């Protein structure tokens, strides 16, 4: 069955991805027909955002099973699992999706396996949208009337199966009349805030003001920000949270100014097996991303660069984590363990 969200269109025998590198100037779609293409699209940021990466990996596996035809089996799919798992290391949603499909494959083979993997990938896609809608509603209670929200990176429909995580709360708050305005940090070096979040919010008519990342402290000092809401790529068992580089700085700033700092993520972003944030692998990306802006040099060509794509915010700086199953206030090992126990029962 065909299934489409803002950036991911599934056509049963092929996947089309909105090339997010070209937004907002161009709307270009790339066709994906196998796992290698899907992994390449993830690595090169055609598709990005933790949940969207997981969904794409699911479809990539389903396409690979179709390509293998009668030969399709869990063993024959091993190289596909491997290439997808190697695409980006930090977002746990990728590994969560691959595990879900590995379990679903069981002893199936051939056309039955391909069909089942397609159905499972569609399910990941559909469930993520549903989770984000619930998460958006759950987050409403944490916002004051007329909230002015600061957000980072892009956590919207482009980054998920739809609605978004941090942007999901923002969208739900707008629908509920609780939101006054949004500050979007531009998010160097990929400019997800500038190119994607502002684009998504403007399309929905949600009042957004774009700022350079280094403007956040001043806005908070001036009393312009009521709450910071961000997404996550991986949340450890103690609540430590990996998200786009710059998230940690915002959490420190929010604490200094007494502003609530909220992390929004579906359960697929929780990594109960990761004890704390120190074990999370942080992706290092190419130097050119920092030495250039939109392909134009903005630094000496040979200047050494440090370019981690994510940082880890200690749980102690997080006011609450919001998932589709509710709010975890003041996350710490005990609150997280209670949440995991609740979800398992
Ligand atoms: O490098 P990106 O664009 O994939 O990073 C995205 C983020 O850090 C998001 O905040 C996170 O994946 C959550 S998206 C709902």
pLDDT per position as a tens digit, 123-151: 999 999 999 999 999 999 999 999 999 99
Give pLDDT tens digits for 64-111: 999 999 999 999 999 999 999 999 999 999 999 999 999 999 999 999
Give pLDDT tens digits for 258-294: 999 999 999 999 999 999 999 999 999 999 999 999 8
The predicted pLDDT at position 344 comes to 83
The predicted pLDDT at position 1 comes to 61
Is 53's pLDDT higher than 90? yes
Helix (H) or strand (E) run with residue 240 in it: none
Of 233, 240, 271, 311, which one is the catalytic site residue?
A: 233
User: According to the annotation, is 43 in a ligand binding site?
Assistant: no
Exposure class string for 306-341: b at 16+ Cβ within 10 A, else e = eeebbbbbebebbbbbbbbebbbeebeeebbeebee
The residue to mutate among 8, 93, 186, 243, having the most atoms of ligand 1 within 8 angstroms of its beta carbon, is 243
* 276 in catalytic set: no
The predicted pLDDT at position 343 comes to 87
The mean pLDDT value for 199-228 works out to: 98
Ligand 1 centroid – CA 76 distance (Å) = 31
User: According to the annotation, is 285 in a ligand binding site?
Assistant: no
Helix (H, G, I), strand (E, B) or coil at 263: strand
Which residue ranges form the domains of the chain, and what is each CATH number?
A: 3-133 (1.20.120.420), 136-344 (3.40.50.10470)
Ligand 1 centroid – CA 167 distance (Å) = 12
Ligand 1 centroid – CA 159 distance (Å) = 7
User: According to the annotation, is 192 in a ligand binding site?
Assistant: yes
Calpha distance 18→5 (Å, rounded): 10
Helix (H) or strand (E) run with residue 339 in it: helix 333-344
Share of the chain above pLDDT 70, in %: 100
Q: Can you read off the two tokens belonging to residue 299?
A: 């630094």
The predicted pLDDT at position 290 comes to 98
The predicted pLDDT at position 68 comes to 98
Ligand 1 centroid – CA 327 distance (Å) = 20
Residues with beta carbon inside 6 Å of ligand 1?
A: 48-51, 91, 153, 155, 159-160, 165, 192, 231-233, 243-244, 309
User: According to the annotation, is 34 in a ligand binding site?
Assistant: no
The residue to mutate among 8, 44, 48, having the most atoms of ligand 1 within 8 angstroms of its beta carbon, is 48
Which pLDDT band, with edges at 50, 70 and 90, does 31 fall under? very high
115-119, 185-189, 210-214, 341-345 — which is least confidently predicted?
Answer: 341-345
Is 37's pLDDT higher than 90? yes
Residue 20, C-beta contacts closer than 8 angstroms, at least 6 positions apart: 7, 45, 46, 47, 48, 158, 195, 196
Q: What is the pTM of this model?
A: 0.98
Mean pLDDT of the chain: 98
CA–centroid distance for 48 within its chain: 7
The mean pLDDT value for 10-26 works out to: 98
Residue nearest to atom 8 of ligand 1 (CA): 244
Question: CB of 253 within 8 A of CB of 262?
Answer: no
Helix (H) or strand (E) run with residue 199 in it: helix 198-203
The predicted pLDDT at position 345 comes to 81
């Amino acid at each position: 069955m065909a299934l489409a969200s803002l950036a991911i269109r599934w056509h049963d025998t092929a996947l089309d991805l909105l090339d997010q590198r070209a937004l907002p100037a161009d709307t270009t779609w790339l066709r994906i027909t196998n796992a290698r293409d899907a992994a390449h699209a993830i690595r090169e940021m055609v598709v990005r955002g933790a949940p969207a990466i997981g969904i794409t990996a699911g479809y990539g596996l389903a396409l690979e099973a179709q390509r293998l035809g009668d030969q399709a089996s869990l063993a024959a799919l091993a190289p596909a699992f491997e290439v997808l798992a190697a695409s980006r290391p930090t977002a746990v949603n990728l590994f969560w999706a691959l595990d879900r499909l590995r379990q679903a494959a069981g002893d199936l083979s051939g056309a039955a396996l391909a069909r089942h993997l397609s159905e499972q990938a569609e399910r990941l896609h559909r469930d993520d949208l549903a989770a984000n809608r619930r998460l958006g509603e759950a987050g409403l209670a944490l916002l004051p009337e007329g909230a002015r929200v600061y957000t980072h990176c892009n956590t919207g429909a482009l980054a998920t199966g739809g609605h978004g995580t941090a942007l999901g709360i923002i969208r739900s708050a707008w629908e509920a009349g609780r939101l006054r305005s949004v500050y979007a940090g531009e998010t160097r070096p990929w400019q997800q805030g500038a190119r994607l979040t502002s684009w998504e919010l403007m399309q929905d008519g949600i009042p957004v003001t774009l700022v350079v990342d280094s403007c956040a402290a001043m806005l908070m000092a001036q009393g312009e920000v009521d709450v910071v809401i961000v997404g996550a790529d991986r949340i450890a068992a103690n609540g430590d949270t990996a998200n786009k580089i710059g998230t940690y700085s915002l959490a420190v700033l929010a604490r200094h100014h007494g502003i609530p700092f909220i992390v929004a993520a579906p359960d697929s972003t929780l990594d109960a097996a990761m004890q704390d944030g120190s074990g999370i692998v942080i992706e290092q990306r190419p130097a050119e991303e920092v030495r250039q802006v939109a392909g134009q040099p903005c630094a000496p060509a040979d200047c050494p660069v440090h370019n981690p794509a994510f940082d880890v915010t200690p749980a102690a700086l997080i006011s609450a984590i919001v998932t589709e199953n509710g709010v975890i206030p003041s996350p710490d090992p005990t609150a997280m363990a209670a949440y995991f126990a609740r979800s398992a029962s």
